[in-house]
Amino acid sequence: MSLRSPLSRAKGLGSAKSGVHHFWMQRVSAVALVPLSLWFVFSVARLAGGDYAAVEHWVSAPSVAVVLILFLGATLYHSLLGVQTIVEDYVGHEGARIAVLLLSKFVHLAVAAATIFAVLKIALA
């Protein structure tokens, strides 16, 4: 016997109404990071021993710049979701939790803006 309404069971939403979405976004970003991370590791390994000019030349290729921005965006989004989960689970005081979550979002946004700007600056130069 369940106390949940049929609509609640059909939508699959818990009491917070957003946990399932957060769960799925973590999984989708993790799946997206598998090929992107493999691409990044193998690409950087090929650049081993190269100088700054070699890396600059590599990033300046349009296809590399696009995939690198996708990798950075997916990584930072996945990180944001993970940090949010940890903060919600382990920060007890409501005010501190809100402050840390806001700070986390601002830091992730600033890092995303800086890294995307850096890639675009090199790619479009």
Q: What is the dihedral sign for C-alpha 21, 23, 26, 27?
A: negative
**pTM flag (> 0.95):** no
The answer to whether residues 88 and 116 touch, using CB atoms and an 8 Å cutoff, is no
Note whether residue 8 is domain-resident: no
- pLDDT, residue 100, reads 95
Note whether residue 38 is domain-resident: yes
Note whether residue 11 is domain-resident: no
**DSSP track, 7-29:** HHHHHT--TTS-HHHHHHHHHHH
Note whether residue 49 is domain-resident: yes
Q: For position 55, which CATH number holds?
A: 1.20.1300.10
Residue with tokens 């818990």: 14
pLDDT tens for the chain, residues 1 to 125: 667 677 666 665 556 566 788 899 999 999 999 999 999 999 999 999 889 999 999 999 999 999 999 999 999 999 999 999 999 999 889 999 999 999 999 999 999 999 999 999 999 98
Note whether residue 13 is domain-resident: no
- pLDDT, residue 125, reads 87
Note whether residue 62 is domain-resident: yes
- pLDDT, residue 28, reads 96
Q: In total, how many domains does the chain have?
A: 1
**Which residues span the domain enclosing 26?**
18-124
